[in-house]
Amino acid sequence: MSRAFVKEDSDQPEHLPDRPLSPHPNYMTLEGHRRMQAQLQQCEQEITALKAGDDWAASTRLPALERDLRYYRARLKTAQVLEPASPAATSVRFGCSVHFVDERDNEHQFRIVGEDQADIAQGLLSWTSPLAKALLGRSLGDCVRWQRPAGDLEIEITAIDSGCLD
């Protein structure tokens, strides 16, 4: 058999490229910072366990864990944990939950958080997203045009909850 198509070092796990780092400031809520610290610790524990074992199949997971470890360390090093907005805040700020209604009378609620904490299914919206950018700095009752790829949508802010969820 020809060796032309056989990887010479196939018994070694491959090196994965680093996860891309955002060019934006690394704002985090206290909750997001704690979650990333926990992810870092879990990653370190998994790496330690894999290196202690002799299971080759488990060691194939090592490159992904080492890549994630580098990412978590870099993100935590640059993290800027922002204090929650004061309860008397009257404008949309980082960490706030924003309630709004669109022109079709659909109600929505999102909390504006850091990029790594964002999860739209859980109502956590990255501060760098177009919707968050449209909402930040706005006040209760303001009408905002949300520019979307599917077409612009007029929304009205109906409530701002600046309470700390951390």
User: Are residue 101 and residue 148 in the same domain, yes or no?
Assistant: yes
What value does the mean pLDDT of the chain take?
87
User: Are residue 104 and residue 133 in the same domain, yes or no?
Assistant: yes
pLDDT of residue 55: 72
Single-letter residue type at 140: L
90 inside domain: no
Q: What percent of the chain has pLDDT over 90?
A: 66
Average pLDDT over residues 130-134: 95
pLDDT tens digit sequence for 58-68: 778 889 999 99
**What is the rounded distance in angstroms from the CA atom of residue 51 to the CA atom of residue 48?**
5
pLDDT of residue 57: 62
12 inside domain: no
Q: Indicate left, alpha or beta for 68 from its phi (over 0: left) and psi (-120 to 50: alpha).
A: alpha
- Tell whether the model's pLDDT for residue 94 goes beyond 80: yes
- Tell whether the model's pLDDT for residue 81 goes beyond 90: yes
- Tell whether the model's pLDDT for residue 99 goes beyond 70: yes
pTM above 0.85, yes or no: no
Q: How confident is the model at residue 24 (pLDDT cuts 50, 70, 90)?
A: very high
User: Are residue 102 and residue 152 in the same domain, yes or no?
Assistant: yes
Range of the domain at 136: 97-161
62 inside domain: yes
User: Are residue 114 and residue 156 in the same domain, yes or no?
Assistant: yes
**Which of 81, 114, 146 marks a domain boundary?**
81
Average pLDDT over residues 7-18: 64
9 inside domain: no
- Tell whether the model's pLDDT for residue 108 goes beyond 90: yes
Phi, psi (deg, nearest 5) at residue 145: -95, 115
Instruction: Measure the CA angle with vertex 76, ends 37 and 165; round to 5°.
Output: 60
21 inside domain: no
Instruction: Pull the structure tokens for residue 17.
Output: 């490229």
User: Are residue 114 and residue 75 in the same domain, yes or no?
Assistant: no
How many separate domains does the chain show?
A: 2
Among 10, 8, 13, 7, CA closest to 51: 13
pLDDT of residue 163: 59
**What is the rounded distance in angstroms from the CA atom of residue 49 to the CA atom of residue 58?**
10
User: Are residue 65 and residue 114 in the same domain, yes or no?
Assistant: no
